[in-house]
Amino acid sequence: MLDNKQKMKAYWKKNLQTLFFLLLVWFTVSFGFGILLVEQLNNFKFGGFKLGFWFAQQGSIYAFVILIFVYVYRMNKLDKEFDVNEK
């Protein structure tokens, strides 16, 4: 039982690490590139876009989609590793 409890603690810790990393990216692409650093990034061109503007109206949304699928992949792997996956 104790063993199991420790295992669950380790699972939860790994889960939190995954979340922290993904939310860091989430914050960076939207609040970071799209708002805080938009002026600086606008000095760069990305096709016909100013880079900061592109992040605010396009790039951040693509990044959000990718983030969720990375999360799904990571968590499914983690669930199997700790044998808590659903049949």
Partner 1 sequence: MEILTWTYILVGLSFAIYIGIAIWTRAGSTKEFYVAGGGVSPLANGMATAADWMSAASFISMAGIISFSGYDGSVYLMGWTGGYVLLALLLAPYLRKFGKFTVPDFVGDRYYSNKARVVAVVCALFISFTYVAGQMRGVGIVFSRYLEVDINTGVIIGMCIVFFYAVLGGMKGITYTQVAQYCVLIFAYMVPAIFVSMQLTGNPIPQLGLGGTVADGTPLLDKLDGVLTELGFAAYTSGRKEMVDMLAITLALMVGTAGLPHVIVRFFTVPRVKDARLSAGYALVFIAILYTTAPAVAAFGIYNAIDTVAEKPVDNLPEWVGNWQKTNLIVVEDKNGDGIVQYVADKKTNELTIDKDIMVLANPEIAQLPNWVVGLVAAGAMAAALSTAAGLLLVISTSVSRDLFRTFRPEMSEKKELRIARIAAGGAVVLAGYFGVNPPGFVAEVVAFAFGLAAASFFPVIIMGIFSSRINKEGAITGMVSGLVFTMAYIIYFKFISPEMNNAGHWWFGISPEGIGSLGMLLNFVVCYVVSKATPAPPQHVQDMIEEIRIPRGAGGAVEH
Q: Are 18 and 78 in contact (CB under 8 A)?
A: yes
Strands 45-46, 49-50: pairing kind: antiparallel
Distances (CA, A) of 50 to 23, 28, 33, 40, 62: 25, 17, 12, 10, 17
Interacting residues with partner 1 between 31 and 50 (CB under 8 A) = 31, 34-36, 38, 42, 46-50
x/- letters, 58..77, toward partner 1 (CB under 8 A): x-xxx-xx-xxx-xx--xx-
**Footprint of partner 1 (CB under 8 A):** 8, 11-12, 15, 19, 22-23, 26, 30-31, 34-36, 38, 42, 46-50, 53-54, 56-58, 60-62, 64-65, 67-69, 71-72, 75-76, 79, 84-86
